[in-house]
Amino acid sequence: MATATKTLKAQAATITAVAALTTTTPAPSRAYLTASVDEETGEVTETSRFRYLPGHPRQIRFDAKAGQFNSNGLTQLGGSISFIPLAWRIFSDDILNMGRKLWAELFYADERGAICAVLFHGYSVENLYRLIEPLFYDELMLADVVVTVQASKKETTKEGKKATYYIAEFSYEPAELAEIQARRDFAQDFPIWREETHTGAADMRTSHAYSPPPATAPARLEAALTAALVQTAA
């Protein structure tokens, strides 16, 4: 009898210990946050997996002459990139002193959690539209998949001379549900846009989670920037 009592007490202690461990690792309030607990005070702290200055994402450029992607024109990223889009828009506008063109702007978190924006125009936008069609029939959208963008070499002849250039070609594979949800939550909580490409006069073809702040709310934007800078400093 005594042995049985000791066994039951040991089992109860084990259950209590497991329960204690479970309560010290609470689920975060949003999918893009990670939670940690101070062992001494029990205080729960949540930290974002992603880093973003509202309106100022990291600029990823597609160099159609070289067939390369780069970050801010400095760091070379190679001839292809892969990411899960968290927001996007396809629009016509006169931006970056390039005249009025049809553009595709996609926002995503890179492997280090930095929110990035990449622009495409011309034939590359047409190729993106070609990707959207099979997604539709698979009952998916860009936010549900890992998109791979590959620079594809093309040749043209002008005045008897051959010239090469590159366009972006797109493919996809399903993304993990947890990663999809993290980006959806983040896009709901932050205004996703890029100040340099937002004129307020775009002819929008389609968009998802693109959310520039109202032009009448500069204080709100300043507050968001201040909060982001405080987070970065911490």
| Per-residue pLDDT, 77 | 95
Same domain for 166 and 62: yes
Give the chain's domain count: 2
The verdict on 66 and 135 lying in the same domain is yes
Q: Is residue 228 part of a domain?
A: no
Residues 155 and 181 in one domain: yes
Within a domain: residue 234? no
Angstrom distance (rounded) from CA 220 to CA 123: 37
Residues 78 and 173 in one domain: yes
Task: Supply the pLDDT for residue 101.
Answer: 95
> Do residues 70 and 134 share a domain?
yes
The token pair at 132 is 């959207």
Phi, psi (rounded to 5 degrees) for 114: -75, 135
Looking at the structure, tell me whether residues 22 and 72 fall in a common domain: no
- Is residue 96 domain-shared with residue 172, that is, in the same domain? yes
Q: Is residue 226 part of a domain?
A: no
Q: Are residues 137 and 156 in the same domain?
A: yes
103 DSSP 8-state letter: E
pLDDT of residue 156: 82
Query: What span, in angstroms and rounded, lies between the C-alpha atoms of 166 and 234?
Result: 42
Domain span including residue 144: 58-210
State residue 19's pLDDT score. 47
DSSP for 82-101, please give it: EE-EEEEEEEEEE-TTS-EE
Which pLDDT belongs to residue 231? 53
20 within some domain: yes
Answer yes or no: is 230 within a domain.
no
- Those residues of the chain that have pLDDT short of 50 are 3-8, 10-12, 14-22, 216-220
Q: Which pLDDT score is estimated for 37?
A: 86
- Same domain? 176 vs 67: yes
DSSP state of 49: S
Residue 118 belongs to some domain of the structure: yes
Distance from C-alpha of 58 to C-alpha of 72, rounded to nearest angstrom: 7
**Residue 183 counted as domain residue:** yes
For position 226, what pLDDT does the model report?
58
- Residue 63 has what pLDDT? 93
pTM to 2 decimal places: 0.80
Torsion of CA 26, 146, 188, 91, to 10 degrees: 170
Q: Look at residue 188 and tell me if it is in a domain.
A: yes
Alpha carbons 173 and 145: distance in angstroms, whole number? 6
* Together in a domain, 83 and 140: yes
One domain, residues 146 and 67: yes
Same domain, 103 and 144: yes
